[in-house]
Amino acid sequence: MRIVEGLQAGLALLARTPGYDEPELSPTATKRTADLFGEPLTATQAVRRILDDVRLRGDDGVREYARRIDRVELEELEIPRDRWREALASIPVELADALRVAADRVRDYHEKCMPLEWRDDEAGYGQRLVPIERVGLYVPGGIAEYPSTVLMSAIPAKVAGVPEVILCTPSPSPATLAAAEIADVDRLFEIGGAQAIGAMAFGTSTVPKVDKICGPGNIFVSIAKREVYGHVDIDGLYGPTETVVIADDTADASLAAADLLAQAEHDEMASPVLITTSMDMAQRVSAEVDRQLALLDRKAVASAAIEGQGMAVVVSTVEEAIELSDAFAPEHLCLLVERADSYVELVHNAGGIFVGEYSPEVMGDYVAGPSHAMPTAGTSRYASSLGVHHFLKHVPVIRLSTASMGSLGPAAAAIARAEGLTGHARAVEMRLEGAGTAVDKDFFAETPDGQ
């Protein structure tokens, strides 16, 4: 791993502001895109072609791109629930049990995160929490399988009370189908890529139009989510995974290296970053990374990530390390330092914080409880990990009494007239002048539930 010294040197390399910069396509992807569309296109241009076609042709457009891009002939787009149940019965018992353990943890965590409705009758206001009616989830598939992403996305939506959760994933494995059954997904479609995002955003004769789309995906999926925003809501745009490990001289170098490699093996564009207070630790972790690389099945991928984005930065104190991490605003922040818990409150920007050597980020990927869908590319400066809040509308409710109107109305009318909106002002002043009933209705006794 590349090793640099000093906070300023680290800031020069790691400090960033959030933003989604479309990466250039690889030569292979560029050629394939040109072959598919008959001319060279950028990723955005290709996605717009796909979305326009799906919007115009619906299921026929979806099937065409499944055939042309994924080389799959789809007679039926939807996979019936019987197949999910068969898949759950067919996978190894140990895996089914593990998925249920993870599901229970995820469900329990998000149940504890549920906010509460509230009302202040005296002040005359309150807030309702209304679940989004239909949510679409995207889970990558094909040669990969991510049953954990099904659990991490669908369960928070169900806990929030979303009535209908649909899922799109290409060529789902038995484990992915089993996870959909365990997570109580409502409908599942065997569709991938930008065409899946288009189908959920615009609706087809088979795929219902959703109100919000959540989930990670490749560059084409992310661009498609960006393009359909406004037709639907989205949870965010996810880039390659990234982890910052902060380690002092008490850390176990082999564990720090293992945590970095666990992220590096995801993607050649992953960012595994060590920030340490010890040059000796930096050198030992670097040596451990080299040693452990040889043990990985995905050695080539992890090696490319380490070579391309991996680094170790040596700073003076843990506080400086956190300052540097905040400037990077990572998806994952691992604290492998003495008295790790005492530093949590200093962290401002991180998708998730993993405290101590027995809380590795890998546990967050599968069974810790919070969703592993976390903000990347510096967006943890303002965004949060996927949770029940993504699936709830916070709706204010105003219940002003006659007395409240009498005390607040003159201020509202004055501001309205200052803005030149006399209609606004008159709507208040007519009430102040006694228009309507003179009886102060007891609104609070008229709610449907009698409360």
- Indicate the range of 9-23, 272-286, 353-367 predicted with least confidence: 9-23
Q: Is 424 a catalytic residue?
A: no
Residue with more model confidence, 167 or 22: 167
Mean pLDDT computed over 292-312? 96
Mean pLDDT computed over 164-186? 97
Confidence grade of residue 434 (pLDDT, cut at 50, 70, 90):
confident
Active-site choice (145, 288, 331, 361): 331
Indicate the average pLDDT of the chain: 94
Q: Does residue 227 contact residue 48 with C-beta atoms inside 8 Å? A: yes
Distance CA(70)–CA(196), nearest Å, equals 12
- Position 332 pLDDT exceeds 70: yes
pLDDT value of residue 27: 84
With b for 16 or more beta-carbon neighbours within 10 A and e for fewer, the 380-397 pattern comes to beebbbbbbbbbbeeeee
Length, in residues, of the chain? 451
Structure tokens at 315: 């700073």
Count of beta carbons in the 10 Å neighbourhood of residue 278: 17
Residue with more model confidence, 282 or 145: 282
Q: Is 331 a catalytic residue?
A: yes
% residues pLDDT > 90 (the chain)? 88
Distance CA(30)–CA(448), nearest Å, equals 59
Mean pLDDT computed over 77-96? 98
Confidence grade of residue 450 (pLDDT, cut at 50, 70, 90):
very low
Active-site choice (332, 361, 372, 390): 332
Distance CA(242)–CA(294), nearest Å, equals 21
Give the domains, in start order, of the chain with CATH numbers.
Answer: 2-14+239-381 (3.40.50.1980), 81-236+389-393 (3.40.50.1980), 400-445 (1.20.5)
pLDDT value of residue 18: 85
Distance CA(328)–CA(244), nearest Å, equals 9
Confidence grade of residue 143 (pLDDT, cut at 50, 70, 90):
confident
% residues pLDDT > 70 (the chain)? 96
Instruction: Return the amino acid letter for 190.
Output: E
pLDDT tens, 366-392? Answer: 999 999 999 999 999 999 999 999 999
Helices (H) and strands (E) in the chain, counts: 17, 14
Confidence grade of residue 416 (pLDDT, cut at 50, 70, 90):
very high
Confidence grade of residue 442 (pLDDT, cut at 50, 70, 90):
low
pLDDT value of residue 437: 57
DSSP 281-296: HHHHHHHHHHHHHTT-
- Position 311 pLDDT exceeds 80: yes
Residue with more model confidence, 142 or 240: 240
Mean pLDDT computed over 39-64? 95
Longest CA pairwise span in the chain (Å) = 83
pLDDT value of residue 29: 84
pLDDT tens, 272-299? Answer: 999 999 999 999 999 999 999 999 999 9
Mean pLDDT computed over 130-149? 93
- Position 451 pLDDT exceeds 50: no
pLDDT tens, 388-407? Answer: 999 999 999 999 999 999 99
Confidence grade of residue 436 (pLDDT, cut at 50, 70, 90):
low
Question: pTM for the whole thing?
Answer: 0.92
Of 173, 119, 126, the residue nearest 147 (C-alpha): 173
Distance CA(399)–CA(381), nearest Å, equals 36
Confidence grade of residue 445 (pLDDT, cut at 50, 70, 90):
low
Mean pLDDT computed over 47-57? 97
Structure tokens at 179: 């996870």
- Position 439 pLDDT exceeds 60: no
> Residue 1: exposed, middle, or buried by beta-carbon count in 10 A (0-12, 13-18, 19+)?
buried
pLDDT value of residue 440: 52
